[in-house]
């Protein structure tokens, strides 16, 4: 199904048109919004002149049809998952079910105010409580906070929880360990949380080097942050040994949940010895990525970390008694009433909570979609997700190794979990095209390229994650496209070096953009 790759420039009139912003469209006095009529007696001077805005902000002046046409045409200059294959490694670009958008838009969810009394937000709290329970089961850890807004936010929560845990024990620790293959957010988070980053080397098989880990682990270490399977797509078989090395010095083990899509139904971070886990609901649980957010990064933790969880926490309590008071703890469900859900502010005098990480309760709209997904798939479906994700990745890998393995070898090992890393180093040396060129040429085949130049430990890295929702035909078309690009480069490497051709714009001058930044429209 590969689109015949073009070397012709931009194919539609909209694509050839010079980009103009909404600020360059419209005309003075033009407008879309009509304010409701003023229905109260007008009063002058409500804001003192000194505090009043002298010059109104120069927002666009455009009609509604102009605005719609502008943004619809802009949308056509995007590649998206609904249109084509998007094997961006570590991002889990799986299908986004439209049921989720429908249920998230129900006014009972979408127009619910976050400070609504818990008594009148029982549906939302029930959903959040059930989601906490489901995520706890999937993680194999008993306590969940839904609050963090993204994976990186969950990481920050996790490291701050570690700090609070050690502080509570009167311990001061200064270092956090991360392997060379870690996501960039891990070391950046460590710095923000006030620790020193210590890198742990990888062994020849792409796993954490146990000798190096032992050498660097002592009582100044607060935490080891790990992804398993790693960003190399390899399940680290030494995980039990690593957990005991880290736990022996009293440090915590943190699980970056970016790769959870590989193991559901087979293994759980809690079973591996992790103390703290973050989920990427926009990866494993298919919140649409939105062109770069929103996401959500709930965390699950073990009993010893629980006292420090952020506030508030969603709890299930015995029902309210008819007089409005909460029934006593032993009254509740035994009396036959339905359970009542509530927000526990964890702000009592004995609270050890690290506090709030953001406003309100978290990205509820994302929770609604995740909940719908878990209810649609159930236990069997989640296991099927991981099985097919791993099957699809290994199928693509096997074909690529057989057909272009000499140019694009697998960086480590023989097989993979849900994603794998190829090295473009031989291709660069022998054909003179870089991984970047291959990626750009894939755009002419109507596909989004895999992640490039990550992880950093592999030269000319190409990180491929097909996900479970792609058909075998699409996977074959992707392999065929890679094979075709390499064959084409054997003849004429210039084609790839100058790709892409059929996209709305060609290669962009990124260095120039950074040198003289223009980050807003001049008005």
* The only residue of 165, 279, 364, 420 in contact with other proteins, by rule CB under 8 A: 364
The pair of structure tokens assigned to 300 is 């699950």
CA separation for the pair 284, 288 (Å, rounded):
11
Does 519 interact with other proteins (rule: CB under 8 A)?
yes
How far is it, in rounded angstroms, from Cα 523 to Cα 520?
Answer: 9
What's the angle, vertex CA 473, arms to CA 469 and CA 479, rounded to 5? Answer: 100
Q: List 301's β-bridge partners, or say none.
A: 143, 276
Measured from the CB of residue 517, what is the shortest distance to other proteins in angstroms? 5
Least distance from other proteins to the Cβ atom of residue 324, Å: 5
Q: Is 69 in the site for other proteins (CB under 8 A)?
A: no
- Among 275, 293, 274, smallest CA distance to 150 is for 293
- Contact 196/159 with Cβ under 8 angstroms? no
Q: Please spell the DSSP secondary structure of 405-438, one letter per residue.
A: TTTS-BSSSS--SS-EEEE-HHHHHHHS--HHHH
Residues 418-447: x where in contact with other proteins by CB under 8 A, - otherwise, as a string? ---------------------xx--x----
Considering the rule CB under 8 A, would residue 27 count as an interface residue with other proteins?
no
Least distance between other proteins and beta carbon 456 (Å)? 9
Q: Which of 407, 449, 405, 412 is nearest to 428 (CA)?
A: 407
The binder of other proteins chosen from 299, 354, 421, 481 (CB under 8 A): 354
Query: Exactly one of 165, 371, 412, 420 binds other proteins (CB under 8 A); which one?
Result: 371
Q: Looking only at residues 190 through 229 of this chain, which bind other proteins when binding is defined by CB under 8 A?
A: 190-194, 197
Q: Does 518 bind other proteins (CB under 8 A)?
A: yes
The footprint of other proteins on residues 229-268 (CB under 8 A) is: 234-235, 237, 239-240, 263-268
Q: Are 143 and 276 in contact (CB under 8 A)?
A: no
SS3 assignment, position 138? helix
Half-sphere exposure at residue 421, Cβ-oriented, CA atoms within 13 angstroms: 25
Q: Could you say which of 122, 247, 409, 484 contacts other proteins (CB under 8 A)?
A: 122
Helix (H, G, I), strand (E, B) or coil at 506: coil
88 binds other proteins (CB under 8 A): yes
Q: Does 293 bind other proteins (CB under 8 A)?
A: yes
Site for other proteins (CB under 8 A): which residue of 5, 141, 144, 156? Answer: 156
Smallest CA-to-CA distance from 283 within 87, 420, 466, 91 is with 91
Q: Which residues contact 409 (CB under 8 A, 6 or more apart)?
A: 401, 422, 423, 426
Per CB under 8 A, 143 contacts other proteins: no
Residues 376-405 that bind other proteins (CB under 8 A): 376-385, 387-388, 390-392, 394-395, 397-399, 402
Q: Which of 13, 170, 292, 348 binds other proteins (CB under 8 A)?
A: 292
Given 13, 27, 78, 349, the residue binding other proteins (CB under 8 A): 78
Contact (Cβ atoms closer than 8 angstroms) between residue 46 and residue 14: no
Q: Is 8 in the site for other proteins (CB under 8 A)?
A: no
Among 12, 432, 471, 490, binds other proteins (CB under 8 A): 471
Q: What string of H, E and C letters represents the secondary structure of 226-246? A: ECCCCCCCCCCCCHHHHHHHH
CA 176 – CA 198 distance, rounded (Å): 6
In terms of CB distance, is 192 or 215 closer to other proteins?
Answer: 192
Interaction residues for other proteins, span 489-508 (CB under 8 A): 498, 500, 503-508
Min dist. Cβ of residue 109 to other proteins (A): 5
Q: Which residues from 323-352 bind other proteins, rule CB under 8 A?
A: 323-324
Number of residues in contact with other proteins, rule: CB under 8 A?
Answer: 208
Choosing from 75, 174, 244, 335, the residue that interacts with other proteins (CB under 8 A) is 75
């Amino acid at each position: 199904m590969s689109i015949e790759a073009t070397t012709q420039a931009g194919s539609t009139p909209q694509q050839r048109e010079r980009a103009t912003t909404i600020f360059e469209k419209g005309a003075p006095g033009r407008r879309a919004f009509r304010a409701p009529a003023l229905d109260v007696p007008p009063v002058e001077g409500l804001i003192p002149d000194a505090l009043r805005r002298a010059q109104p902000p120069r927002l666009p002046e455009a009609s509604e049809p102009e605005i719609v046409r502008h943004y619809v045409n802009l949308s056509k200059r995007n590649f998206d998952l609904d249109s084509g294959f998007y094997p961006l490694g570590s991002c889990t670009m799986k299908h986004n079910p439209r049921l989720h958008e429908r249920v998230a838009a129900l006014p009972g969810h979408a127009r619910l105010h976050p400070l609504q009394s818990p008594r009148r937000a029982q549906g939302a709290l029930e959903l959040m409580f059930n989601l906490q329970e489901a995520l706890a089961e999937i993680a194999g850890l008993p306590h969940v906070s839904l609050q963090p807004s993204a994976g990186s936010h969950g990481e920050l929560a996790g490291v701050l929880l570690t700090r609070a845990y050690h502080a509570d024990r009167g311990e001061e620790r200064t270092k956090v360990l991360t392997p060379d293959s870690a996501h960039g957010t891990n070391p950046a988070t460590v710095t923000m949380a006030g620790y020193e980053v210590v890198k742990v080397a990888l062994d020849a098989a792409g796993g954490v080097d146990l000798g190096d880990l032992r050498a660097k682990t002592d009582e100044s270490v607060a935490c080891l942050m790990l992804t398993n399977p790693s960003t190399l797509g390899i399940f680290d078989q030494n995980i039990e040994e690593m957990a005991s090395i880290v736990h022996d010095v009293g440090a915590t083990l943190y699980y970056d949940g970016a790769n959870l899509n590989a193991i559901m139904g087979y293994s759980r971070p809690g079973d591996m010895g992790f103390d703290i886990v973050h989920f990427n609901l926009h990866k494993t649980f298919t919140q649409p990525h939105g062109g770069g957010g929103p996401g959500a990064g709930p965390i699950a933790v073990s009993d010893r970390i629980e006292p420090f969880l952020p506030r508030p926490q969603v709890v299930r309590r015995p029902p309210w008694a008819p007089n409005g008071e909460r029934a006593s703890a032993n009254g509740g469900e035994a009396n036959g009433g339905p359970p009542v859900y509530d927000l526990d502010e964890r702000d009592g005098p004995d609270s050890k909570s690290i506090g709030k990480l953001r406003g309100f309760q978290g990205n509820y709209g994302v929770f609604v979609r995740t909940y719908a997904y878990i209810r649609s798939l159930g236990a069997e479906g989640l296991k099927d997700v991981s099985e097919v994700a791993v099957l699809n990745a290994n199928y693509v890998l096997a074909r690529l190794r057989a057909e272009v393995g000499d140019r694009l070898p697998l960086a480590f090992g023989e097989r993979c979990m849900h994603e794998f890393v190829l090295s473009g180093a031989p291709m660069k040396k022998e054909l003179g095209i870089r991984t970047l060129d291959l990626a750009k040429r894939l755009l002419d085949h109507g596909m989004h390229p895999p992640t490039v130049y990550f992880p950093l430990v592999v030269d000319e890295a190409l990180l491929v994650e097909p996900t479970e929702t792609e058909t075998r035909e699409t996977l074959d078309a992707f392999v065929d496209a890679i094979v075709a690009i390499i064959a084409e480069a054997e003849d004429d490497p210039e084609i790839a070096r100058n790709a892409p051709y059929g996209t709305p714009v060609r290669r962009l001058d990124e260095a120039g953009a950074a040198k003289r930044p223009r980050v807003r429209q001049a008005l």
